[in-house]
Amino acid sequence: MLLPRQTRLVLFLLSNLFFIPITFSLVEEQEQFTEELLLKPLPDRKVLSHFHFQSRAPPTASYGHHHRLFPKAIYQLVHKYRIREMELSFTQGRWNYERWGGFDPISSNNAKPPGVELWAVFDVPEHQVDAYWKNLTHTLSGLFCASINFLESSTTYAAPEWGFQPFTGSLRYGTLPREAVCTENLTPWLKLLPCRDKAGLSALLDRPSIYKGFYHSQQLHLISAEFKSGELDSGIILEQTLTVVLQPGAKRTGLAYFQPSWSMSSIFGRQITGKCVLAKSSNVFLQIDRDAVSELKDMWKEMSVNSDKMSKSLWSNPYFELSRAPDRIKEASSINSDSASILYEFFIQKCSKSESFDLGLTWKSSFVWSCPKAPLHATRFLMGSGNERGSIAISLRTTELNRRLMDADISEETCKLRVDIFQMVPWYVKVYYHTLLVFVDEKPQALTDVIERMHVSPSEDKVSPGLMELALKLPCGLNSAALTVEFSKGFLHIDEYPPDANQGFDIPSAVISFPRFNTRLHFPKDDSERSPVLSYTEVLLVPLTTPDFSMPYNVITITCTVFALYFGSLLNVLRRRVGEEERILKEKAANKKTGWISILLSKLFAKLRGRPSESPKSPASSSSLVSLKLLLKVVLVASVAVGWQIEFLELCGFERIDGEKFLDLPIEKVDMAALVSAGSEL
């Protein structure tokens, strides 16, 4: 059926006006954006907030190069550098595996080492990977306002084989442990969202509330299937996550400490006023750990709670109460555990400015539980003293859940626990891999008995860092294990030292993974993706021998002083006018010789005019021999004497004698009192 001409014209104008081609309306529905928020109370009176945003772009072959929801900068990044998978994280603080857990998807996927961590897999020939990596670091540095471009140097990144990710040859890994994280990194991250921080769950991200937390990690994970040939092209998937551990206000009653009651408005300072209109789904989840759930179920058995009241008891019970009823309740079971945690799901599609969403949790009684931990708790530290040699030690201690996680039907003699260790050290820490020792329950072991696989890449001075990948097979019933390896400290050029060289130099965190264990959560009728259990160790601080940085300063100051004296004297000699100085010196000497005559004349003329003579000024009161006024008077008297000569003396009483050749002053005209006074003054 053909539409009338006027109707077709209106549709054409509307499509051009809003830039929405009508013929491709079905294809645009494949581009999706979802947002989720997970809230989880922690045993140490803190709250975990995990934001998850996912943007999905359909394949370029069927959709084209233009997108409505997917960020253009990320799409261009993928195609320019042919990225198959990439992960970038900015972290402030360190994840507490003992208190916050280490056997769940958040601790395994979103607990990152301090600073910046970047790894990427490229779909290019192996000899071109380094060039693409360097260009990628510069692009990300400008995109996220960070110092990621420092990872372009070959001394800051490595090429893992299998210890970190199962990509051989095309994987590059780098980290900057000392990189500071601030709002300059969060703002570009938020600009990648369709609604930014103006609507939806991202509106809760108040900067002061986020950065005052104990732990903060923002992450960008990218998966692309654009360059896979012969496989199903799923397009590009961008996952943006923000994990924050916050401390709500505490409540104290007597000697017993309750878990602090909190709400979204109290920990974020804001409420949800609606979902992002471009989001396909927008949900909020509240998770209660399985240890707490086990205690609740024991309480229900004692109270004989029937199935009708059990659903309400899940969110309103003698231990805690939610501020609003959940829209759905799920029991999520872990792969290696019989118990299950509870997820309360809340839909925020109906929220608005007039009816905002604010979820709160109120604790009614003291409640103690623990988060699930990894099979082994890993720590790393330094041994030795001095600025020449030392040792790196990795300690693995069994946890309370280790035996419960093992298969019950396997004997301890045949049961082996697989542990993978990935460690990268800078080139100035020269590791001697032949000194590797392994201890199990404080007893030394032969390397062939405990090491199943090993890959070592020694460091090269100022070229590449050292890399060690180990696959250990440890007995399941162990209590502790330890690895030690010796190293010597290198020397840096003075230009290679940072401004705070005396603070020490960082060794990046080591990665400990357990391939046999996964942290996938099983939901009814939901097949979620598995994620391996892994953890990061501490960042080590190694003090190196540092030169005396004050010596160059002293040398520079002394040299500049010598040059200043030399060139000053040289210029003084070259520019001095000797003849002019001699004339000035002669005039000064003449003035000194005739100085007493001018004084005598001045007193004489003062006596003749009947004025009191001024006493000469002391050398301390005057810096010059003759003041300016006296010089003027002398000049005036001298000029009059030159002009009038004999006439002036005749006026003073002198008479001509002997043919007018001489002037004589008769004795009767001489005032003897005046002469005596003048003589006494002289």
Reported CATH class of domain 376-509: mainly beta
Numbered ranges of CATH 2.60.40.740 in the chain: 376-509
Q: Is 219 helix (H, G, I), strand (E, B) or coil?
A: strand
Predicted local confidence at residue 602, as pLDDT: 67
| Most distant pair of Cα atoms in the chain: their distance | 159
Predicted local confidence at residue 596, as pLDDT: 62
> In sequence order, what are the beta bridge partners of 263?
360
The answer to whether 534 touches 343, Cβ cutoff 8 Å, is: no
The pTM of this model reads 0.76
Q: Is 419 helix (H, G, I), strand (E, B) or coil?
A: strand
Give the position of tokens 């008297």.
637
Predicted local confidence at residue 626, as pLDDT: 41
Q: Could you give the C-alpha distances from 111 to 95, 121, 383, in angstroms and in order? A: 6, 21, 26
Give the position of tokens 């899940």.
314
Mean pLDDT, the chain cut into blocks of 10 residues (682 residues total):
47 42 44 93 92 90 79 93 95 94 89 96 93 96 94 94 83 94 93 92 92 94 78 79 89 59 92 89 89 67 54 67 88 61 86 85 82 90 90 92 54 76 95 95 93 94 94 90 95 86 92 87 51 91 87 86 83 71 73 63 68 50 46 58 57 66 69 64 51
Helices and strands, counts by H and E, the chain: 20, 31
Predicted local confidence at residue 464, as pLDDT: 94
Predicted local confidence at residue 163, as pLDDT: 86
Q: How many Cα atoms sit within 13 Å of 470 on the Cβ side?
A: 23
Q: Could you give the C-alpha distances from 463 to 106, 154, 597, in angstroms and in order? A: 36, 6, 88
CA distance 184 to 207: 11
The answer to whether 477 touches 412, Cβ cutoff 8 Å, is: yes
Integer-rounded Cα radius of gyration of the chain: 45
Give the position of tokens 């030292």.
497
Q: Residue 224's closest CA among 236, 238, 240?
A: 236
CA distance 97 to 370: 11
Predicted local confidence at residue 663, as pLDDT: 67
Predicted local confidence at residue 300, as pLDDT: 59
Strands 451-457 and 511-518: unpaired
CA distance 344 to 330: 7
- 456-462 — which CB contacts under 8 Å span 24+ positions? 457/158, 458/431, 458/433, 459/425, 459/426, 459/427, 459/429, 459/430, 459/431, 460/427, 461/427, 461/490, 462/155, 462/427
Predicted local confidence at residue 31, as pLDDT: 86
Strands 32-41 and 281-288: parallel
Predicted local confidence at residue 350, as pLDDT: 77
Please give the sequence-ordered ranges of beta strands (E in DSSP) within 66-138, or none if there are none.
83-92, 115-122
Enumerate residues 6+ apart whose C-beta is below 8 A from 59: 225, 226, 233, 234, 235
CA distance 114 to 178: 7
Q: Is 579 helix (H, G, I), strand (E, B) or coil?
A: helix
